[in-house]
Amino acid sequence: MRLRLITKAEYDALPPRSQGYAQYWEGAKPGSELKVEVNPYSAGSHEYYEWQRGQQLACQDAQDSEE
């Protein structure tokens, strides 16, 4: 079963934390439109930290799935 990757348009519609999470999980997958995505928010802004938090949560989930 092949899962569908989210599109850049779908990614843009997500809140910052979900964007960070999605980029972590899908950014390196073949065919992903999120490969080049980095945190687009101004350093120090609430949105910037939310995007970073999404990356951290995705990393924790990835580690938990390996156990």
Q: What pLDDT digit, counting tens, does each position of 18-63 carry?
A: 999 999 999 989 999 999 899 999 999 999 999 999 999 999 998 8
Nearest CA among 1, 31, 5, 18 for reference residue 58: 18
**pLDDT confidence of residue 2:** 65
pTM higher than 0.85, yes or no?
A: yes
**pLDDT confidence of residue 12:** 96
Helices assigned H by DSSP within the chain:
8-12, 16-26, 46-65
Residue 1, pLDDT > 80, answer no
Nearest CA among 3, 7, 4 for reference residue 33: 7
